[in-house]
Structure 1
Amino acid sequence: MNTVKTAMLLAALTALFGVVGYLLGGASGMMIALGLGIAMNAFAYWNSDRLALSAHHAVEVDERTAPELVGMVRELAHRAGLPMPRVYLIDNPQPNAFATGRSPEKAAVAATTGLLRMLSRDEIAGVMAHELAHIKNRDTLIMTVSATIAGAIATLAQFGFLFGGRGDARPNPIVTLATMLLAPIAAMIIQMAISRSREYNADRLGAQICGQPLSLASALSRIAGGVAQIPNHDAENHPATASLFIINPLTGHGMDNLFSTHPATENRIAALQALAQEMGAASRPQGSFASGASTSPWGSPSRRGPWG
């Protein structure tokens, strides 16, 4: 099913590339845009994970530089039956995380320093398990490719507005302005068509991987609260990558929340609470990432944690 969804998404985004090209440059513009769209599909397939990580200045870590985080991801990946993904840290105070990569063998998970500072060990485990669930469900290809192409559509529309045709070939400025405004929204709507059920599925599987639905529910609540208070400037500069994160990292200014790629956090928490009852997980299960009385596995907020 995910293969079909991926093909539909890529086809829709490629077609949108063509429509934008036609509105900005007529038939020749459409052909150029379609060619660019096909090339972008191929480029995004092979490079979108690196682009997403680079956009957020993620730094790869290992057992030496972040032993607790890497050890946690290794254990969770073993539970999920997955190869060990690469692990990255993002020096950003907003609590958040995402997964990327075209396949489980080429996957990576990234967490912000804010996530490690603000959440407990069990909550971090729930978040990492959610990201591994995306990898196991092969959602990461759809997430990274759609983010790359949606961002490219926005760039194409802006480029067309600034450098449209000359003389008689120049498109109607009203049409150009409408295209610049509406094309990115259309790309985001296409992302939304697939992404919302994906988050519920990853929540459920992630809770089963870590064995703690209530810890993941608590993590979602904390992250949502942090996002509301702490801006993520890299995400604001690259809004097409918002769908990658466990919680939409955008602050909600302007149009950010109108076309959110994520379900309401309250609904996700309610679904996890229902799952906890199904699993009998109201009490801490054996094998969870219990951390005693400490609120964070990385020490007090004054410490830099396992990234340095």
Structure 2
Amino acid sequence: MPKPLRVIVTGAAGFIGHHAVKALLKAGHEVLALDNLNEYYDLKLKTDRLEQIGSPGGFAFEKVHISEHEKIASIFDKYAPTHVLHLAAQAGVRYSIDHPFSYIDSNIKGHLSILEAARHSRSLEHIIYASSSSVYGNDTEPPFSESDRADTPVSLYAATKRADELLSESYARLYGIPQTGLRFFTVYGPWGRPDMAYWLFTRAILDAKPIKVFNNGELERDFTYIDDVIDVLIRIVEEKNTGFGHRLYNIGGAKPVPLKKFIEVIAKACDREAECEYLPMQKGDVYRTHADLTRISREYGYAPKTEIETGIPRFVQWYRDYFRI
């Protein structure tokens, strides 16, 4: 077996972070998990995710905010990571309208903290970090390609994610730090985020409450199941360092789903009727997302396998089990 990697995972109590930590440990790697355990959503869900990881060999957890650059630098010095999987961020498009400084602290200062610690590290080989499909905004023609311009963000969240990409590009050029940015397209699945539409819709349907459907349902999303994401994520982490600079990849399902169909699939999985309250478009939202997967398919053989007709019932079953419904 190849020598285990030493991976720092930020945002380890988050949705993707939790799944990534489990997969890395299963693959035999050592993981130092970082998270500040904020209360953007139910803290119990985050602690339950960590509890599910348990205390296997090669695993450690430390509570820290990634914007605390001196602490982050000290952690890098002590742990000597070979890789960083940087998933921590203040998430949510709509939340950014009322809480802008939280996004600057977490997404800009936090990303810079990681980059600065990395440039002084003598052990680090590769940073893999989370970007977002939201960087494409509403002015990009679908399917969205990594070579498309992404300079018209419609939310502060999107702007911070694009800023992170530019910061990484500059650090890769200045200091030769190999970096890979991943533009995730609406990732969903068990242990997901309570602020995401699929969770809100599931809860409303099971509680016999109306669903808020924005832009009168005239929206499309490229949904990506968590297992498909983690599969390619581990491949990227484990690749041998070939001296690349800074790369960007879309990770999506490549099949935009109309919102009305998405609601139908959730309702069927819940075995209930969905009551919809149709509302105008929200500020900061985008009309459609659609990932061009040419680049990541060519370089990593990525091919999403899980359709929403399979993935959504899995989430609904997890939701029922978790809340004992």
- TM-score tier after normalising by the smaller chain length: under 0.3
Q: Which has the higher strand share?
A: 2
Query: Which structure: greater helix fraction?
Result: 1
Structure-2-length-normalised TM-score: 0.26
More contact order relative to length (CA 8 Å, sep ≥ 6): 1
